[in-house]
């Protein structure tokens, strides 16, 4: 496994591999790796000749400078984990290598970025699209792997690929959870013991909402979620939405097909997100 820090070296290496007929899988991450990331990496290793993992805490997608400062950085431990997956290359650049000059490029994803994460984190998805677009151009992968936990991000990347004509297959894998149901997240490392115990309430309330999809209207389910979390210590609900899983637009009436139950909340100082995609025929 080779660690690359320079963009020029990455481009030259990837171009040579593509020219030799190798298929390239790419897993972009911000580090602090967990089983959710490793699932994506193992899938890439299985599907492709070469697997690249980027580790880069992208400053342009943080609308809160303190959140960027506190985001866990565990590069040495990440490298050890990656050695167990069969990953071939780690791309771990500095911010200066990625952003050699201030970028004035602006992306607009319309209604897709005006709800949930886009509404609560202004500029977030412009930063996501900027870094993902840059990395796609640098790595030139055949396939890119993302996790369902960041459902809205997956939708944004899907539109980025379509809109800019990237010849890349987007592969999305289900959320990996702890034994008690908590979605694995790099941010979980910032939770203390009590907060970690409380954090599972996000998954619990999603399951509660799921159980009511056939019997309660949307407004009643939202009220139930808010009331349930109100009694949880150190939990502050930011939003709960029942949405179309592709467009992420709110669903006013539950009928057939699939819906996404999406939630964001603070547990202590740590902001966590989670979701369930539910096929209504199976409820």
185-213: per-residue pLDDT in tens? 999 999 999 999 999 999 999 999 999 99
Q: Are residues 11 and 125 in the same domain?
A: yes
Supply the pLDDT for residue 63: 87
- Residues facing residue 51 across a β-bridge: 25
Binding site for beta-alanine, by residue number, is: 61
| Domain end position, chosen among 131, 152, 173 | 173
Q: Rounded to the nearest 10 degrees, how much is the dihedral formed by the CA atoms of 41, 23, 58, 105?
A: -150
Q: What is the pLDDT of residues 123-168, one digit of tens each?
A: 999 999 999 999 999 999 999 999 999 999 999 999 999 999 999 9
How many whole angstroms separate alpha carbon 150 and alpha carbon 134? 19
Does residue 28 share a domain with residue 144? yes
Question: For a pLDDT cut of 70, what percent of the chain falls above it?
Answer: 100
**Active-site residue numbers?**
37
Q: Pick from 139, 173, 207: which residue ends a domain?
A: 173
Looking at the fold, whether 22 and 158 belong to one and the same domain comes out as yes
Q: Give me the CATH number covering residue 262.
A: 3.30.1300.10
Q: 201 and 118 share a domain?
A: no
**Angle between helix 124-139 and 7-19 (nearest 10):** 50
* Same-domain pairing of 128 and 86: yes
For residues 83 and 138, membership in a common domain is answered with yes
Annotated binding site for ATP: 30-37, 147-150, 176, 184-187
Q: Is 283 domain-assigned? A: no
The number of domains in the chain is 2
In a domain, 281, yes or no: no
Note whether 245 and 111 are same-domain residues. no
- Which residue range forms the structural domain that includes residue 134? 2-173
Residue 56 and residue 120 in one domain: yes
Same domain, 110 and 243: no
Which residues contribute to the annotated binding site? 30-37, 61, 147-150, 153, 176, 184-187
Q: CA angle 108-109-111, nearest 5°?
A: 120
């Amino acid at each position: 496994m080779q660690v690359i820090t320079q963009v020029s070296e990455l481009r030259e290496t990837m171009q040579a591999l593509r020219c030799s007929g190798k298929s390239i899988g790419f897993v972009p991450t911000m580090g602090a790796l967990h089983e959710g990331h490793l699932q994506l990496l193992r899938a890439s290793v299985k599907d492709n000749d070469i697997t690249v993992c980027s580790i880069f805490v992208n400053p342009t997608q943080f609308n809160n400078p303190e959140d960027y400062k506190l985001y866990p950085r565990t590069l040495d431990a990440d490298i050890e984990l990656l050695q167990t997956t069969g990953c071939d290359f780690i791309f771990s650049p500095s911010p200066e290598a990625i952003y050699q000059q201030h970028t004035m490029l602006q992306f607009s994803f319309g209604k897709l970025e005006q709800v949930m994460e886009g509404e609560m984190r202004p500029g977030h998805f412009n930063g996501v699209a900027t870094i993902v677009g840059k990395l796609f151009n640098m790595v030139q992968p055949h396939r890119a792997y993302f996790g369902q936990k960041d459902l809205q991000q997956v939708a944004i990347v899907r539109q980025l690929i379509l809109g800019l004509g990237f010849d890349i297959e987007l592969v999305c894998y289900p959320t990996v959870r702890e034994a008690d149901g908590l979605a694995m997240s790099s941010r979980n490392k910032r939770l203390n013991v009590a907060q970690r115990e409380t954090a599972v309430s996000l998954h619990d309330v999603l399951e509660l909402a799921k159980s009511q999809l056939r019997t309660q209207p949307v407004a009643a389910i939202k009220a139930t979620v808010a009331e349930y979390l109100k009694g949880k210590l150190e939990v502050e609900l930011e939003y709960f939405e029942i949405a179309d899983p592709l467009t992420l637009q709110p669903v006013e009436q539950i009928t057939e097909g699939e819906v996404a139950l999406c939630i964001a909340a603070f547990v202590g100082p740590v902001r966590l997100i989670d979701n369930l995609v539910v096929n209504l025929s199976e409820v």
